[in-house]
Structure 1
Amino acid sequence: MSEANANQLISNEETVTAEPKPEPLTAAQRARSERQRLKARALRDARLIQRPTSCREGLTAPTVNALDSGGGFLLEEEDEAPAPKLAARPAPIVHATEQPRCVTCERLFPQSFLFDNFDHPVCDECRDNGDEHALMTRTEAKNEFLLKDCDLDSRPPPLRYLRRRNPHSSRYGDMRLYLRAQVEARALLVWGSEDELASERERREEARSRTRLQRDHKRLRALRLDVRSSLYDRQRGVHTHEFGAESYDEAADQYSRTCATCGHIETYEKM
C-alpha cells in the first residue's frame, strides 16, 4: 500500500470517529415510547380477536348457525357469550419522579390495580380485598351508604367504576363495581360525618318499622272483620221454624205446613 493511500485511510477513519453519537433517551421519553408500544399491541390483539384467522388468510368463513323461522327465511343464532373487548392497560410509570406514593406503606410504585382502575394510590402489596379495598355494586353502595345516583355520577369528581358482566343472566345490564373506600369517602362528603350517617340510618329503619307495623295492623284488622262477619252470618243463619196448622192435599196425598216467620213450606206424608 502506498503512503498516499495509507494517509487517506487514516483520514477517513478519523472522519468516521469524529461523527457525533446519538444522545440517550430520557426517562420520560422511554416511558412514552413504552406506552405507545403497549397501546399498539393491545389494538393489534383486539383486531386479531374480531377477525378470525381463517378470514384474514382469505379462507372460507366459518359457518353461521341458523334457525328456520318457518316463513321462508333463516334467522342467525346469536352467541350467548360475545367476544370480550380488550382494554389497553396503562403502561407502568418508569420515571421515579412521576410515580405515585402508596398511602399505606409510603413507597413509590410504577403500577397497581387500584391506581390504574380507580386512581387510588395503593400498591398491589398493600391491597386488601376484604376491607376498604373491596368492590361493591351500585345497589349495595346506594343502600348501605344512603347515596343517590347524582351522588355517584354528578357530584364532582364522579366515582370511577369497573364494568363486569352480570352473573345472573347475560341479558341483564353490566354491573358497575365501585371501590368501597371511595364510596365511604363520598358518603362522608354527602352526610358530613359518620354520626349523621348513622342517625339517618336509624331514622330510616324506624320509618320502615312503623310502616311494617301499620301494614300488619291493617291486615290484622281486616282478618278480624272477616272473622266477625262470618260468625255473624252463621248466627244469623240459625233459625227455628214456627209452623202453623197443617193442610192435606188429596191429589198429592200429602200434608204440608208453613212457617209463620220465614214462609218455609214443609211437606210430609202420614202412615
Structure 2
Amino acid sequence: MTRLGSWIGKHLMLTLGILVLIYMYVPNMIVALMSFNDSSQSRNLYTFQAFTWDNWLNPCEPQGMCEALQVSISIGLLSTIVATTIGTLAAFALVRHRFEGRSTMNLMLFLPMATPEIVMGSSLLALFVAAGFGGQLGFWTILIAHIMFNISFVVVTVRSRLAGLDSNLEKAASDLYANEWQTFWRVTFPLVFPGILAAALLAFSLSFDDFIITNLNSGTTVTFPMFVWGAAQRAIPMQVNVIGTLMFIIALAIVIAGEVMSRRRAKGKAAAF
C-alpha cells in the first residue's frame, strides 16, 4: 500500500488522466457491449441477455431507423460544410482585420453558444412561421437551424488556432518572394487546417446529436435522435447501439489518422533539416 501510495503521488496527473478517460469512455464501452445483446426489444437498455451477431448483420431491421440515420448524416454533412466555410472566413476576419463593429460581431457569435437550446429552437420556429414556412418545416429548416448554431462553434475553434499562429512564418514566406495566394496555401492553410478539421468534426457531432432544436423545427422529418426518442417510448432496438458504436469507431479512426499524419509530417520535416 505504501509503494502504491508513493507511485500515485509521483504519477498523480497520469492517474487523474486515466480516471477521467475511464469515466468518459465507459458509456461508449457499454453501448458497444449492448450492440451484441440478443434482446432486440428490451425496454431496459442495460440488461444483457445473450450474445448475438444479429444486430450487426441486420442494422436496418427496425423500420425507419436507417432512413432517419440517412437524414441525420445528410443534414450533418451539409451543415458542417457550410458552417465550416462561413465560420473559417469569419474567424480569419476577426483575427486578421480591425473593422467597425468587430466587438459587436464577437458578441453576436457567442450568443448562440450561450443561449439555451429550447429558447433558440422556439425562436427559430417563430421565425420560420412568421416567414411563411410554418407548413413547410422539414429538412431545409433543420439544415438552416443547424448551420446557424454550428457557425459559432466553428468560429471559436478556428479562431483559437489562428490566435496561436506565429505570423513570422508568413512573413518569412513573403521574404522568399511568395505572393499572398502562395503564402496562404503553402504556409497558413496547412498550419490552420488542424483547427478547421477539429471545427468540422465538432460541427458534425453537434448537428448529428441535436434533438431539441431539431424537434421544434422538423415538421414531419425524422432524424436519428428523434427516432431513438420515439423508440424509447415503446422499446429501444439494440441496433441503435450498433449505430452508436460505428459512429464512435469512425470518429476515433479520424482522430487517430489525423494524429498519425501529423507525426509523420513532423518527422519528415525533421529529417529534411
Q: Which of the five TM-score ranges fits, normalised by the shorter chain?
A: under 0.3
Q: Give the TM-score taking structure 1 as reference length.
A: 0.22
Q: Give the TM-score taking structure 2 as reference length.
A: 0.22
User: Which of 1 and 2 has higher RCO (CA within 8 Å, sep 6+)?
Assistant: 2
